[in-house]
Chains A and B, each alone.
Chain A
């Protein structure tokens, strides 16, 4: 794809010059000129132009010089991340989406599972709709480590040639698949929130947010196989469980040099606070500058507890030392998408909003009626958090009996 300015429509108004985040546009002879060297095709200028003078042009034949055929490659693979011998829920979400993709393509859906003594989990993957599970069971694979995991996955991909490989965009997924994509010379799209198939070309259409979700980009990978994506947790719907579903477990094992790791995992430390795992939580209650002190976070924790949720914090609260970094939601912290996000005393700086705007329901509680957070809150409460939050805790406790 490329971008160009239609000179007949361009008025030289400079709006696009001002909006381009990469300073890639200049006005020459009263017309906008885009420097394709600097341009990243982010599309911000297209939105800014009042005269529809900037257009994206479709893939040109030179972009796909020799559309290859990949008859050897088939099947949709889901890398099923396990921790402590338990397959993580993101894998079930991908099996849900993977089933649709596999059916559209008329191929099989396969799980890939690496770990130690985990055959029982392989069966669970079949119950979630997989036709096959490639299982590599070895002591060296008990816990995730970059090198053995990436080497095993590269071997499997080279031997069985999947058409598509999906993996959760978790800390493990992002570390692993980035290495694998280099090893098998495949394209990789990070943190997708929508996946679809172009049936005619058998292309995976991978849609992901850019600029903190203000722009969406759809990406393809025409000349390489497999087509690989990491997928954001909690966006796709889990595959339903069917204990009667049958599938095949293909056990593989490899030489010790494949399992060999230069790095050593010395310890796995779980932070004691149960309220910290933001990426898994269905409900997140976050506190910001409005709390005024670390002690006041108690009201946030109480509400989170009443709702069975996790505690988040804005950057302001983390930078003030009120909460640790692992609680931070936003651009330099975590991106979350729970079912319900309750922002308390958070004004809603863009850096915070990009980390939580894909939550299903957003509740904002703030005494400033002009706080930007209200522009995206499903329900906004204008009021004092020290009055409203404890009242909510009391009522939710009553409702849920916690």
Chain B
């Protein structure tokens, strides 16, 4: 079973806190991490490999330093890594990113399953996974919380919905996007870390992709950002202090009009 996992390097927001005085973000040193949802994608791929054999290939599109994210994925147990990097990809929106990644996956070779995290925590769009599936014309199962079975070139999985979940079956190859509930990612092994140091990362540039240059990067992105602004920060309001019964009575009074 050959699996491709698409990952993204994102800024680590766990080190971010909100300055109580100014209500703005405070970042103490900027670190990059693998998008948290992609960690579940990597883990699921490795578990499937352990069960069925095969290869796990990690792919990312990003600037040269995204190589660190690929090496981290290798340390967790992935077999190969591909960095899709070129200045021509700068400014890609989700359409151009999906296009570029689908072209790059086409260069990797035969696969049974593509796994993506449900969304990246910096953009929060959840559009690239289905976008890749659409470009490659393969079926998709989004927001997967559990893979129930893989048998006879079919996958059966639980797709999380607002009310619960759907059970969906798809022929392979297909693309799934995964949510946090699917597993608990492992830590890198010592052996994995050694391998991650030495492994040669395959690099793909725009010229390697057989892609239409007009559909790459900023030029190939239908959406354009025209304005960026900081919303007026949410301010703390009224603080209620005192005995439980007094503050409760006060709060009920304050919320009364909203509820009745």
Contacts and interface: CB of A to CB of B under 8 A. Distances in A.
A333 interface: yes
B169 A277 contact: no
Interface in B154-194: 156, 158-171, 174, 179-181
Contact of A380 (B180, B225, B236): B236
A138 interface: no
Contacts of A378: 237-238
Interface in A262-321: 262-271, 276-277, 279-280, 283, 307
Nearest to A325: B181
Given A63-B218, A63-B224, A375 B23 contact: yes
B27 A375 contact: no
B234 interface: yes
A26 interface: no
Interface in A33-56: 35-38, 40-44, 46-47, 56
Contacts of A387: 244
Contact of A307 (B20, B249, B259): B259
Contacts, number: 312
A216 B133 CA distance: 29
Interface stretch (A14-22, A96-104, A234-242, A249-257): A14-22
A361 to B, nearest CB: 7
B160 A171 contact: yes
A2 to B, nearest CB: 9
Which of B124, B167, B169 has most chain A Cβ within 10 Å? B124
Given A170-B162, A191-B124, A267-B167, A213 B231 contact: yes
B124 A332 contact: no
A219 B140 contact: no
B259 A391 contact: no
A375 B131 contact: no
B162 A271 contact: no
Specify the main secondary structure of chain A where it touches its partner: mixed
A217 B180 contact: no
Interface stretch (B48-56, B90-98, B199-207): B90-98
B161 A400 contact: no
Interface string B58-91: 0000010100000000000000000000010011
Contact of A1 (B123, B224, B256): B224
Specify the main secondary structure of chain B where it touches its partner: mixed
Contacts of B159: 171
Interface stretch (A121-129, A156-164, A175-183): A175-183
A134 B156 CA distance: 33
A391 B230 contact: no
Contacts of A56: 227-228
A190 B224 contact: no
B139 A262 contact: yes
Contacts of B242: 383
Contact of B252 (A214, A376, A399): A399
Contact of B164 (A42, A271, A280): A271
Contacts of A283: 259
Interface in A363-396: 363, 372, 374-384, 387-388, 391-392, 394-396
B224 A219 contact: yes
A119 B65 CA distance: 54
Contact of A332 (B170, B180, B241): B180
8 contacts: A21-B30, A187-B93, A187-B221, A263-B170, A266-B156, A268-B164, A350-B16, A376-B235
Interface of A: 1, 18-23, 35-38, 40-44, 46-47, 56, 58-59, 63-64, 83, 146-147, 150, 170-172, 174-175, 178-179, 181-183, 185-191, 205, 209-224, 261-271, 276-277, 279-280, 283, 307, 324-326, 328, 331-333, 335, 339-340, 350-351, 353, 357, 361-363, 372, 374-384, 387-388, 391-392, 394-396, 399-400
